[in-house]
Structure 1
Amino acid sequence: MRWLKKREVIIYFLLFKKFKYDKFNLGEALDVLKPYFSKKVSYNSISYMSKIGLITKLGSFEYKLNPFEDFVLIFLGKSYLDRRLTLRRKTQ
């Protein structure tokens, strides 16, 4: 899994500023992001964040944000630390 792009982090926080952890639909999200990003970029970023677990897809067009801290600690941090532990053991 790759690290998030700056664009995706900004999109997450723009959506968080508007919706917090409440449900929202794709149309509402695109309206919030419309001044800054095209529909294609917004949709692809939301789809990617949904795929990696930063956004939960509730229905065909409904989404909900997950806490950013949980995502960083659980999904990225754990795999990174496990990898570092393995590499560290090999060098000692």
Structure 2
Amino acid sequence: MSERSALVELANFIGRSPLASPDMTARNKALRGMTERMLPRQRRSVGDLLSVVMTLSARTRRMAQEPAHVEIDVFSPGGKRAIRMTLGE
């Protein structure tokens, strides 16, 4: 297959795609079908649900906390400051 015919085929595919439809319902249906095909077909357990809830809870708790500011001072054996590093604002 030549490069030109591959480009023509791609252009025709995009033009006929339901995602290019002006109808929002058709676009949503096509997107829903694509996402359903990508999802694994295995059953989820209660433990999976619990881990998701705990992860979201921990992330929310961390986001609600004040940001941490860290200062590190490193001194040489002679007592002079070797490095001063500030992380945060």
Tell me, yes or no, whether TM beats 0.5.
no
Q: For the pair shown, which has the larger CA radius of gyration, 1 or 2?
A: 2
For the aligned pair, the TM-score class normalised by the smaller chain equals: under 0.3
Give the TM-score normalised by structure 1.
0.26
Which structure carries more helix by proportion? 1
Give the TM-score normalised by structure 2.
0.27
RCO higher in structure (CA 8 A, sep ≥6): 1
